Chain A
Amino acid sequence: MNALLLKQIIPNGDCALLLRFKASANRSRWIQTLATDFIEKPLKDLINVIPASDNLVLVFKQTVNHYLDWQTVIQQRIDQLQLSDVESTVHEILVCYEAQYAPDLNQVCEQVGLSREALIAAHTQPLYDAVMLGFLPGFTYLKGNDKRLCLPRKNTPAVRVSAGSVAVANDQTGLYALSSPGGWHVIGRSPTPLLNWHKTPANLIKPHDRVRFKSIDAAAFMRIAQSNNSGNCCGKSIGKNHGD
């Protein structure tokens, strides 16, 4: 029996549709499966498929044809889905929660009423589920935050969040693989690169892998970051070089 319940199909601009799903067992896993189905057997003019924890966006090259009975088209896809046994890897991600890597830690501690030690303990305890990738290459959304660490996004997003940042917002932890603007509260940084451009896919964490955090001190962070820089990972050169 199929467990993905379509709640609503609404436009997301003139060229995209947002599919929302009702709460059900394994919802986000089903959504990933549906996304894979659309990627492998695309509809006409479909140029992007963006799965998220409780919804899926279909992006088309042209203006969406609203005369088409989308409800039926999508329901038929859902009815034919099989939930595959996705192999999930458990990653141990090292995180330094010290001040120089955690610009928002003190303010988060204050807001949720926890000491620094208690917050680190609460954050390193759960086994998180990587519910989706997105935002930017390598950004990983992890579900499973300790209930005490739930707080809304920042009122004004930070202009720059450093690569490797580990941040919290709502009931999720986010991993910033690259430096970017960001609205989540940064409570630490990992020296482990989440993207390796020499590999396909470049992403270390796949959807529905599991993640556990381990606290490390600044000295360990520096040591690991340096060995990564001098070594094998995260090179920027792709294909042929043009005299750079």
Chain B
Amino acid sequence: MAIEIIQAGGLTTVQDGGRWHAAHLGFPVSGCMDQAAAQLANHMVGNEPGCAVLEMSWSGLEFTAQQACSMALAGAEFICQLDGQEVSTDSVIQLRANSHFKMQRLLSGVRAYAAFAGGIDVPVLMGSKSTLLSASVGGFNGRPLRAGDVVELSQPHLVTNKGKPNWKKYHPPSFHVVRAMPGPEVHLFSQNTIKQAFSQSYELTAAADRQGFRLKSKPLDVTNIQVTASSGLVPGSLQVTPDGQAILAMRDAQTTGGYPRILVVHQQQLSLLAQVRPGEKIHFFVETRF
């Protein structure tokens, strides 16, 4: 059983809970940018939370199913069609053999997740099915899906309908706030710069992908900051570059980095960042007592 891709959208990759135990070999953790949404989609079709799903950015999929299978969508909201009829993504979508499914228009957010009951059948590379685009490995032949691809599903089946509660749907906030804590190099900055960094807003620029988000803000003062030796970098680290701007590491970020980190976002909150659009503003609520 497989699905045949008619249109793959802007960037559709296979992702899962992440690639663990390989950072010392230089492998980023990878996995779904919005883990919460992927877990919700998996939950709706009865999969394990870290099961492989399709991650779609900005534009959605169009495909035909070869056989019956339940599917759930979560994350960014799309208007979708099943066999030419509009279909709600608030509940499980029951695909039949030869069903034609199309995600038509993005309503909110950036990244959507499609989970199939049973999961996606791609090889496991170092413990994960996630695609690592920078290395062209993992997932579906190490690359984004494109028209004509045939994606195999593992043990596809139908599940009884499980709804998506309204509070779990993605509702775009009027401004984005994520919780964070002071970073390991925070002591290198002056008190004024720390105050500025923890209170100002940062605009997400167009240079925002799975590796990292370049942010734009009033520059942070980095004069007299001694370069630190590279050390292990976790997603959510706000790295200040010598021009005073900041780069937020995301799930495909390099495993080590040398720019000073003034704050690090709480890992559970990374999901919220996955839905921020370029031009929107991010605030960091830094919990200084932990």
A residues sitting closer than 8 Å to B (CB atoms) are: 10-16, 18, 35, 39, 47-57, 59, 63, 66, 132-139, 141, 152-157, 159, 169-170, 178-181, 183, 195, 197, 201-203, 236-244
- Across the interface, do A133 and B21 meet the contact criterion of CB distance under 8 Å? no
- Across the interface, do A236 and B142 meet the contact criterion of CB distance under 8 Å? yes
Which chain A residues lie closer than 8 Å to B150 at the CB level?
242-243
- Across the interface, do A183 and B231 meet the contact criterion of CB distance under 8 Å? no
Known contacts A50-B23, A133-B26; A242/B152 CB under 8 A? yes
> Bound state CA distance, A131 and B149, in angstroms?
42
Which chain A residues lie closer than 8 Å to B141 at the CB level?
236-237, 241-242, 244
B residues sitting closer than 8 Å to A (CB atoms) are: 18, 20-29, 122-125, 132, 134-138, 140-142, 149-152, 181, 183-184, 207, 211-212, 227, 229-234, 236-237, 241-243, 245, 247, 254-259, 261, 264-267, 290
- Across the interface, do A136 and B135 meet the contact criterion of CB distance under 8 Å? yes
- Across the interface, do B227 and A49 meet the contact criterion of CB distance under 8 Å? no
> Bound state CA distance, A201 and B125, in angstroms?
12
Which chain B residues lie closer than 8 Å to A197 at the CB level?
137
- Across the interface, do A14 and B290 meet the contact criterion of CB distance under 8 Å? yes
Which chain A residues lie closer than 8 Å to B233 at the CB level?
50, 57
Known contacts A15-B234, A57-B231, A242-B140; A203/B25 CB under 8 A? yes
- Across the interface, do A238 and B26 meet the contact criterion of CB distance under 8 Å? no
- Across the interface, do A59 and B23 meet the contact criterion of CB distance under 8 Å? yes
> Bound state CA distance, A240 and B129, in angstroms?
13
Which chain A residues lie closer than 8 Å to B124 at the CB level?
239
- Across the interface, do B135 and A52 meet the contact criterion of CB distance under 8 Å? no
> Bound state CA distance, A238 and B135, in angstroms?
12
Which chain B residues lie closer than 8 Å to A49 at the CB level?
23-24
Known contacts A135-B26, A136-B28, A155-B242; A50/B211 CB under 8 A? no
- Across the interface, do B151 and A51 meet the contact criterion of CB distance under 8 Å? no
- Across the interface, do B255 and A136 meet the contact criterion of CB distance under 8 Å? yes
> Bound state CA distance, A244 and B26, in angstroms?
27
- Across the interface, do A52 and B229 meet the contact criterion of CB distance under 8 Å? yes
> Bound state CA distance, A25 and B238, in angstroms?
33
- Across the interface, do A240 and B28 meet the contact criterion of CB distance under 8 Å? no
Partner of A48 from the list B20, B125, B135, B149 (CB cut-off 8 Å) is B20
- Across the interface, do B184 and A18 meet the contact criterion of CB distance under 8 Å? yes
B241 to chain A, nearest CB (A): 6
Which chain A residues lie closer than 8 Å to B28 at the CB level?
136
B2 to chain A, nearest CB (A): 8
Extra contacts, 9 of them, besides A59-B29, A203-B25 (Cβ < 8 A), are: A11-B264, A13-B234, A48-B232, A135-B230, A135-B254, A135-B255, A137-B27, A137-B132, A157-B247
> Bound state CA distance, A121 and B228, in angstroms?
28
- Across the interface, do B230 and A14 meet the contact criterion of CB distance under 8 Å? no
Known contacts A11-B181, A12-B264, A13-B267; A139/B254 CB under 8 A? yes
> Bound state CA distance, A178 and B135, in angstroms?
6
Partner of B264 from the list A14, A35, A55 (CB cut-off 8 Å) is A14
Which chain A residues lie closer than 8 Å to B122 at the CB level?
242
> Bound state CA distance, A194 and B227, in angstroms?
27
Which chain B residues lie closer than 8 Å to A134 at the CB level?
23-24, 26, 230, 232, 254-256
- Across the interface, do B23 and A155 meet the contact criterion of CB distance under 8 Å? no
> Bound state CA distance, A237 and B211, in angstroms?
23
Which chain A residues lie closer than 8 Å to B149 at the CB level?
242-244
With most chain A CB atoms within 10 A of its CB, the pick from B237, B241, B256 is B256
> Bound state CA distance, A154 and B243, in angstroms?
9
A107 to chain B, nearest CB (A): 15
Which chain A residues lie closer than 8 Å to B211 at the CB level?
180-181
- Across the interface, do A239 and B123 meet the contact criterion of CB distance under 8 Å? yes
Partner of B24 from the list A16, A35, A195, A242 (CB cut-off 8 Å) is A35
Which chain A residues lie closer than 8 Å to B265 at the CB level?
13
> Bound state CA distance, A133 and B212, in angstroms?
20
- Across the interface, do A135 and B207 meet the contact criterion of CB distance under 8 Å? no
- Across the interface, do B184 and A10 meet the contact criterion of CB distance under 8 Å? yes
- Across the interface, do A240 and B243 meet the contact criterion of CB distance under 8 Å? no
- Across the interface, do B184 and A47 meet the contact criterion of CB distance under 8 Å? no
- Across the interface, do A50 and B256 meet the contact criterion of CB distance under 8 Å? yes
Which chain B residues lie closer than 8 Å to A169 at the CB level?
258
